[in-house]
Structure 1
Amino acid sequence: MAVSELDPGASPLALFGAEMRRLREKKGITQEEIADYTHVSKSLVSQIENAKRTPQWDFTEQVEKLLDLKGELLRLLPLVIKTGPTWFRQWPKIEAVAHNLRTWQPLVIPGLLQTRSYARAILRGQPGISDERVDEATEARLARQVVFDRPEPPMYAAVIDEIVLARPIGGAEVMREQLDHLLKLLTHPCITLQVVPMAAVPTIGLLGGFVIAQLSHGPDTVYLDSAADGEVTDREDRVRTVNLRFDAIRAYARPVNETADVIREKMVMYERS
């Protein structure tokens, strides 16, 4: 495809390619310079700019650094990278424009708060999954985390069960890194994390995890986890039920100012391993 023929409106991939080329040329940087800086071939850079190859998280981060950007390309990644089953692919688009996100997770660290190693350990546990698919899914999950780099990031309230911090997913080293990452995220002005003591989990919390997205333009939408397929819906009755469920579970959580102490207590367990 010729450079002049690339239509940014043709697809998210075309939008990324056109935007990367525009920003690169604005800075006076060549494709060769990007290739050298990111340790990839010039051919790959050209293919990305022509919407023939999908950019990955690490590559995009390095390009942003070279071009001295502030998230212009990273914010497009959730639209570009495949994000799982067809039913799930609308969720990153909703998540990317939400002004308020609330989630309950009884089993694992919420995806938007996961480290690369923790995410890989979870994804690798899926039966029959290939290393290539693990890599793709990990990149997709990390790409969604750019919502916190928006000029006006969403208010994000996460409530997790205490057992999540004690479950050694990936082993001690992975958990130490993950818990340290959570402590750093607690300093973000838009992120709050609360922990529900194991002894206090209400039975309603055992039904599964979920996320509630509040949008400025459009109805509130929820994402519900399940063992087989998840569900993304804006049905008013479903959204109302999940909102009530979140409030009921949150009532059992420790205060926000106690979260750091709870995480540090769990870190001691992994430091001994």
Structure 2
Amino acid sequence: MTSPAATTYRVVLGIFLRSLRERAGLSPTEIAQRFGWYGVGKVSKLEAGTVRLTEEELTGLLDAYGVTEPEAAKLHEFGAVARTRTGGGRTPAWGDTYKVLEAHASEIKTYRETVLPGTVQTEDYARALLSMSLTTPPSEVAGAARERATRQALLTSDNPPGFWLVVAEPALLRPIGGTEAFRAQLERLRELVDLPHVTFQVLPLEQGEHHAVGTPFTLLRLNVPALSIAYLEGLTDANYLDHPKETDVYTLAFDRLRVTALDDRTSAKMLDRRISELK
């Protein structure tokens, strides 16, 4: 059977293949005809990550799309994981796909309105949020919270991504997990804010309307393979938008949010004040 990691990488590989095909200006029909596949069904399934892709098929697709090194090598790495057959099979949770993309990103730009993003969450803060989840079984909350807290290691690694975080002021006011847990969360955020590759800004309440009201999102940029993705999360699923017409809009929205928000020094001082208020 296919392992959870394999099914997740299969979905991720499909996202890349769709983007590469569109970048090459080829239609699903043209690819199906080139490989002698009956109809476009197999192309759609490969790009959705619902069927396995052989190494030979992957090599042929990358050649058709004009993919060269080092992109090709990285995609073959993804393909090798996607073909593994250890452990029990399952359909990957939509969050698993995001974690793989996040781990390979060179830049992460996140806007949040009411809660802090998973990348900076402490275990207690994450546990409080997950305990309210309608899709996470109570028996899995503690383990999911521990796993989420480990994602901070990405920001403190030897080769971290650039990380930009814009939060609306309510995210600093809602005491998720109670006063003590929330204070510990903000103190940990304050430590991360001091990292040289982290930029933190607050959008104050008095700002009023702005370009992303009601729409928290994350922009991921991967260098190898080259891809930009806008990620939008819901209660039961998530959307991964990779068409330039879509990602360009979210990039512009994030750039304008940064102009509208307080600068990094003023934002850090606001965070310090909030921490002091909770003591």
TM-score clears 0.5: yes
Residue by residue over 1:174-194, the C-alpha shift from the partner in whole angstroms, topping out at 9 and shown as x without a partner, is: 111111111111221111111
SS at match of 1:232: strand
AA at the equivalent of 1:100: E
Residue by residue over 1:140-172, the C-alpha shift from the partner in whole angstroms, topping out at 9 and shown as x without a partner, is: 312332222432110100000011101111111
TM-score normalised by the chain length of structure 2: 0.63
Structure 1 residue aligned with 2:230: 222
2:275 is equivalent to residue 246 of structure 1 = no
Residues 1:11 and 1:163: Cα distance change in structure 2 (over 3 Å): closer
Query: Aligned equivalents of 2:269 and 2:236: distance in 1?
Result: 35
2:108 is equivalent to residue 93 of structure 1 = no
Structure 2 residue aligned with 1:41: none
Q: Is the 8 A contact 2:200 2:268 kept in 1?
A: no
Q: Over aligned residue pairs, what C-alpha RMSD do you find?
A: 2.5
Residues 1:160 and 1:219: Cα distance change in structure 2 (over 3 Å): same
Q: How does 1:48-197 map to 2 (within 5 A)?
A: 86-127=93-134, 129-197=136-204
Structure 2 residue aligned with 1:233: 241
SS at match of 1:89: helix
- The unaligned stretches of length 5 or more in structure 1 are 1-8, 14-79
Q: Report the identity percentage.
A: 28
Q: Is the 8 A contact 2:210 2:257 kept in 1?
A: no
Query: Aligned equivalents of 1:219 and 1:100: distance in 2?
Result: 11
TM-score normalised by the chain length of structure 1: 0.65
Q: Is the 8 A contact 2:231 2:239 kept in 1?
A: yes
AA at the equivalent of 2:170: I
Residues 1:239 and 1:103: Cα distance change in structure 2 (over 3 Å): same
Residues 1:100 and 1:129: Cα distance change in structure 2 (over 3 Å): closer
Residue by residue over 1:30-74, the C-alpha shift from the partner in whole angstroms, topping out at 9 and shown as x without a partner, is: xxxxxxxxxxxxxxxxxxxxxxxxxxxxxxxxxxxxxxxxxxxxx
Residues 1:12 and 1:88: Cα distance change in structure 2 (over 3 Å): closer
Aligned length, in residue pairs:
194
Query: Aligned equivalents of 1:136 and 1:200: distance in 2?
Result: 38
AA at the equivalent of 1:226: G
Structure 1 residue aligned with 2:270: 262
Q: Is the 8 A contact 1:115 1:181 kept in 2?
A: yes
Residues 1:171 and 1:151: Cα distance change in structure 2 (over 3 Å): same
- The unaligned stretches of length 5 or more in structure 2 are 7-86
Residues 1:178 and 1:10: Cα distance change in structure 2 (over 3 Å): closer
